[in-house]
Structure 1
Amino acid sequence: MALWGGRFKEDVAAATQEFGASLPVDKHLYKQDIAGSKAHARMLAKQHIISQGDCDAIVGCLTDIEGEIDAGSFSFHIEDEDIHMAIEGELTRRIGEAGKRLHTGRSRNDQVATDTRLAAKALAHDLMQANLHMREALIGAARDNEGVVLPGMTHLQHAQPVLLSHHLLAYYWMFERDFHRLTAAFEAADASPLGAAALAGTTYPIDRVAASYEMGFARVICNSLDAVSDRDFILDLHFACSTMAMHLSRLAEEIVLWSSSEFGYITLSDAYSTGSSIMPQKKNPDFAELIRGKTGRVYGNLLQLLVTCKGLPLAYNKDLQEDKGGMLDSARTLSQSLAVMAGMISTCTFNADVMRAACEVGHLAATDVADYLAKKGMPFREAHEIVGHLVLVCEERGCRLDDLPLAVFQEASPLFGPDIVSSLDIDAIVGARTTMGGTSPSAVREQMRLVRATLVADEAYLEGISSLVPMGEGV
């Protein structure tokens, strides 16, 4: 008979027992469950609700159980239903009456909410660490490829030349924003529901604040109904994961394109490529494709929880048992994807000559030629039309803008002079973009300074919250 079976005459059917069990998923939260139970036991003893002897027996036995789970020698049974019952049941078998007193003043409802919040904090923390490593890889690639120029694109068409370091740092800023979404998810989870009991609080003189601080929570949830039913903090983590997965997918798409024969901008390391079972010559960007493909499952986990929560009345409902699997899956997927992407970026070869040669295709100087006329007093829209005509001339002649004789430029507009040649030089075009956030070498150097400053600040934040997730390993 289950620990809650006093009101029942018979056990649940075998089929429903397996259907209702969450143990296969929430056993991964054993460290969080044990940490919460230890804090609860110590608080009960401090408040003289249980004896100090019972508290010592509970804490000591929980430590033993944790060690056995760590070592893989603890036996889980599906009839235990969930991690909470598995641990409490074993605790009671080992220390008897003292184990039965652990659940005084709490319910599985606030217990599971506590475990889930502790897990969400740990997962957000670990993802922040992986995010920092990803950003370090982008900084390293940008630094090592200083001065390399490639065609910047819009609509996947050649547009204007940019520095490769500038292009890579665009992704850095995406992941920097992702870091702060993770901090928001961490802080949303950083509130203790323990002591809310089933939904209405408890009649025992517990100290919720003391227990919350011992578990590393920053605050206590003020409403007991909200404490046991809220899963917004998981949605926050899902959204942070989904946005970061989207950024990874965009970068993965560029890796797939850039490593193709048509582009040839990069050569992937053998360690981050695979071959074909039938075509000996193939070197496939499989891992970039997998990162791109895994984005769908991360999005799906977000939608699953949104749909689960959309119609739930207060307070706790069994539907919320479905809250943890997607959270663990998305965090694990993102952690692996970040590590693989960082490895790909750090080990690939950027083919500078190929990128430079590509800048000779697509008339990348066209905007600067129009700016040349505008700076001499011609309205930009008129300058745009004239340069568009010159590009058409190039297309008809099968040449580039810098192949046109000066006479052709002057035929299009008398404002063109011999100095138009400098507006056609790729390096000069890149170097002229000196405004903040531009692609010139000087602007990118300033951007690198800002990038390093944000990395240092985020590393300091992560170090500051590390003490608040002492049971983070093992989620």
Structure 2
Amino acid sequence: MAQLWGGRFTKKTDQMVYDFNASINFDKRLYKQDIAGSIAHVTMLAKQGILTIQEKEEIIKGLEGILSDVEAQKLEITSEYEDIHSFVEATLIDRIGEPGKKLHTGRSRNDQVALDMKLYVREEVVEINTLLKELLNILLVTMEGNLNTYMPGFTHLQKAQPITLAHHMGAYFEMFKEDHERLLDVKKRLRTCPLGSGALAGTTYPLDRDYTASLLGFEGPTLNSMDGVSNRDYIIELLSALSTIMMHLSRFSEEVIIWNSNEYQFVEIDDAFSTGSSIMPQKKNPDIAELVRGKTGRVYGTLMAFLSTMKSIPLAYNKDMQEDKEGVFDAIDTVKSCLILFSGMLETMKYNKDRMAISAKKGFTNATDAADYLVKNGVPFRDAHGYVGQLVLLCIEKGISLDELSLEEYQGICPVFKEDIYQEISLETCVNKRITTGAPGEEAMRHAIEYYKEYINKYE
């Protein structure tokens, strides 16, 4: 078909050049946003007397018909068109004739595509935050049900101090809560409307850009037309936020993979979220967690690729910016699918509470509390640290935990120990005496859970 911009040219574009230049195969997913922007644009043109009321009504009816037919799969968006903007405009002209040729009055594809991407990202931010809310709810339910599920906390992947499963999940609640807030920050950068910026220098038509912006749900128009068509910072910010979400999902997936191993056996992943081996019948593999971990690099790659694309682009619009779409679409799709599948896996996962508690005991996670016991009874901390180190060595030699040593064995290393040491180093005591804000004790955790409930209730 003849290109909408072909008047200047005397030769047809080389087919390979055309295909390389075209974006229709991926930007066709912007059809809703392109039509919404076009409807707002012609509504404003009619308000300003640039179009007649009749022309406006014919154009809007035609655009609504295109939208309806595309969604009903009666109209196919094909590679015959260069991009989604050309498809919409050419189809409109085919359907309503001369009035359709006035659709593009006072705008450029540069401000048009800038608008479409802002509208698209704005909608996707809301969808991703909805998925994050579902994950936060699952974490909150898990926390409420596991205030007394004791497990080892780790540093350097070594057992460190006893915590609860609720406390562990609370750490991820904090991470995903901040991811939600990061996406809200991205949304703030979407508050201005680029439509009316033209190619880069505005237009001589008396556009009412504030009116167009209000029709499309923006706070107002962009205040510099060059920036309006060439700003893609919000996409970089989005990709950074998506990369952080994936980093958190990947960290969590790594722990699920470790917890699911035969050596740990802290969790059992539901059959619906596991696969087996083609050769080893005993295997039950944590494939979803592994794929989430693997796809994290894919999203990181998109962020780095687009940062590299934008780093040397002079003002204003350049065709390089067409690279903002495929990677962003893929990153958004990847994050959404990972959130959905990870949430499903987490919600159906079973926890081996006894195994967790035994692991905490066998890992000497209560050693710090044994040292604190001596300090409270007048032993200098450095001496207490040394005595408990000797106790740990004795336990390792005997293959037992600290709470399995006899009182005689305790007093043989330090006579200050009394019968109450066993109560002081029980997992329940070790955890619940930690009551400062952010600690794993039940009292502190209940305060945190109440705060998290309020947060979710106010969730945007």
Fold in common (TM above 0.5): yes
Aligned length: 459
2:65 aligns with 64
Does the CA contact (< 8 Å) of 1:34 and 1:66 recur in 2? yes
The answer to whether the 8 A contact 1:142-1:166 is kept is yes
Structure 1, 29-38 or 421-430: larger mean CA deviation = 421-430
Cα displacement (A) at 1:73: 2.1
- Matched residue of 2:32: which SS? helix
User: How far apart are residue 41 of structure 1 and its match?
Assistant: 0.3
Change (3 A) 1:314 1:379: farther
| Distance apart, 1:292 and its partner CA | 0.9
> Greater shift after overlay, 28-37 or 153-162?
153-162
In structure 1, how many angstroms separate the alpha carbons of the residues matched to 2:220 and 2:413?
Answer: 70
Which residue of 2 is the match for residue 361 of structure 1? 362
Aligned to 1:114: 115
Task: Please list the CA deviations of residues 141-198 of structure 1 after superposition, one character each: whole Å capped at 9, or x if unmatched.
Answer: 2223332111111111111111111111211111000000111111212220000000
Where does residue 189 of structure 2 map in the other structure?
188
Deviations 1:95-126 (A, max 9, x none): 12211111111100000000000001011110
Measure how far apart 1:411 and its partner are: 4.3
Q: What is the distance in 2 between the residues matched to 1:78 and 1:405?
A: 80
Q: CA deviation at 1:370?
A: 1.4
**SS at 2:103 equivalent:** helix
Matched residues in 2 for 1:13 and 1:151: separation? 65
Any stretches of 5+ residues in structure 1 without a counterpart?
462-475
Pair 1:271–1:417, CA change in 2 (3 A): same
Question: Is the contact made by 1:17 and 1:79 (CA closer than 8 Å) also made in structure 2?
Answer: no
> Contact 1:190–1:219 at 8 Å: present in 2 too?
yes
Aligned to 1:402: 403
Aligned 8 A contact 2:26 2:326 in 1: yes
Pairing 1:278–2:279 present: yes
% same residue: 45
Q: Give the match for residue 201 of structure 2.
A: 200
Structure 1 consecutive aligned stretches of length 4 or more whose deviation exceeds 4 Å: none
Contact 2:242 2:331 (C-alpha < 8 Å) held by counterparts: yes
Q: Distance in 1 between matches of 2:78 and 2:31?
A: 14
Q: What is the aligned partner in structure 2 of residue 306 from structure 1?
A: 307
Q: How far off is 1:386 after superposition?
A: 2.7
Kindly tell me: are residues 104 and 441 of structure 1, through their superposed partners in 2, closer, same or farther at Cα, counting changes over 3 Å?
Answer: same
Amino acid at match of 1:285: P
* Conservation of the 8 A alpha-carbon contact between 1:188 and 1:236: no
Distance 1:35 1:373 in 2: 71
**Aligned partner letter, 1:456:** N
The separation in 1 between residues aligned to 2:189 and 2:217, in whole angstroms, is: 14
Tell me if the contact between 2:361 and 2:402 (Cα under 8 Å) persists in the aligned partners. Answer: no
* In structure 1, C-alpha distance between the alignment counterparts of 2:129 and 2:52, rounded to whole Å: 41
Provide the residue aligned with 1:32 in structure 2: 33
Q: C-alpha offsets along residues 381-406 of structure 1, whole Å, 9 cap, x if unaligned?
A: 34223322322232233332223333
Alignment RMSD, CA only?
Answer: 1.4
8 Å CA contact 1:141–1:345 kept in 2: the answer is no
SS in 1 for 2:211: helix
Higher RCO structure (Cα 8 Å, ≥6 apart): 1
Corresponding residue number in structure 2 for 1:435: 436
Tell me the residue number matched to 1:125. 126
Amino acid at match of 2:252: L
Consecutive unaligned residues of structure 2, counting only runs of 5 or more, are none
In structure 2, the residue matched to 1:242 is 243
Going from structure 1 to structure 2, the CA distance change for 1:394 and 1:80 (only over 3 Å counts) comes to same
Contact 1:140 1:346 in 2 (8 A): no
Offset at 1:139?
A: 1.2
Letter in 2 for 1:392: L
Report the counterpart of residue 449 of structure 2 in structure 1.
448
Alignment of 1:328-343 (within 5 A): 328-343=329-344
Structure-2 residue corresponding to 1:149: 150
Measured after TM superposition, the shift of residue 407 of structure 1 is 3.8
Worse-superposed segment, 12-21 or 257-266: 257-266
Secondary structure of residue in 2 paired with 1:360: helix
Distance 2:414 2:255 in 1: 39
Deviations 1:405-451 (A, max 9, x none): 33443344443333222222111111111111111111111111011
Whole-angstrom CA distance in 1 between matches of 2:271 and 2:396: 40
Paired residues of 2:42 and 2:56 also in contact (CA < 8 A): yes
Distance 1:143 1:251 in 2: 19
**TM alignment of 1:364-443, pairs within 5 A:** 364-443=365-444
Do the aligned partners of 1:26 and 1:324 also contact (CA within 8 Å) in 2? yes
Q: Secondary structure at the match of 1:118?
A: helix
Whether the aligned pair in 1 keeps the contact of 2:147 and 2:445 (CA below 8 Å) is no
Looking at structure 2, the residues matched to 326 and 380 of structure 1 have their Cα atoms a distance apart, in angstroms, of 56
Matches of 1:361 and 1:16, distance apart in 2 = 67
**TM superposition shift of 1:259:** 1.4
Q: Deviation of residue 202 (structure 1)?
A: 0.7
The SS at the match of 1:17 is helix
The answer on whether the counterparts of 1:208 and 1:220 sit within 8 Å (CA) in structure 2 is yes
Q: Counterparts of 1:365 and 1:333 in 2: how far apart (Å)? A: 41
Tell me, yes or no, if the aligned pair for 2:260 and 2:267 is still in contact at 8 Å.
Answer: yes
Which digits, 9 at most, give the CA deviation of each residue in 1:355-375, with x for residues without a partner?
Answer: 122122111111001111222
Residue type matched to 1:112 in 2? Answer: V
CA contact (8 A) 1:200 1:225 kept: yes
Question: Which residue of the partner structure matches residue 298 of structure 2?
Answer: 297
Quick one: distance in 1 between partners of 2:383 and 2:56?
A: 83
Q: Tell me the CA shift for residue 52 of structure 1.
A: 1.0
